[in-house]
Amino acid sequence: MATRRGGTGPRAARTGGAETGGAETARRVLALPEVATAVWVAAFVGLPSEPDTRPLLEALRARGTRVLLPAVREDLDLDFREFTGTLVPGALGTREPPPAAPAVDLAAADVVLVPAVAVDRLGRRLGRGGGSYDRALRRVHPRATLVAVVDDLAIVDRVPVDAHDLSVSVIVTATQVVRRGPV
């Protein structure tokens, strides 16, 4: 289990984040050099317990960055579709581009923004437990930058990892940007 600096567990870290900090989180993500030069950014639409990414999605589109969003398949794997401004209800309470939106290989993404229940300063992330992102991240181009977009309380001292887990290079919250420390 993740070792926390405060709070009472991963769920405690997620309360309130969706209602505050969306614009500030967007500002910090947009200021990343990797995002500034990206042609394609894969992102996510935050669930109620996750940071609000809507301001970020709109800002990326407004500056001409192409945005990919996940669509949950029946087998709980993720396909990625181009976000053109329209979202429809998806599986598991998600919002996603409509089925008619262009499908794009995740390997096209220069930057991949991922959610996490918890993440440590070494970039190890803990997801929601279904493995959807772990499987999807195997399709990312090796030069792509992986960025966890989380609430401040999701940053913990240590996250357990398995052999298949990939680490993120950058962690962004509404109040800070953390570059991965030495491994």
Q: Which residues carry a binding-site annotation for substrate? A: 45, 50
Distance CA 53, CA 6 (A): 24
DSSP alpha helix (H) spans, 82-154: 132-137
Distance CA 25, CA 28 (A): 5
Binding residues for ATP are 125-133
Contact in structure between 167 and 180 (CB atoms under 8 Å): yes
Binding residues are 45, 50, 125-133
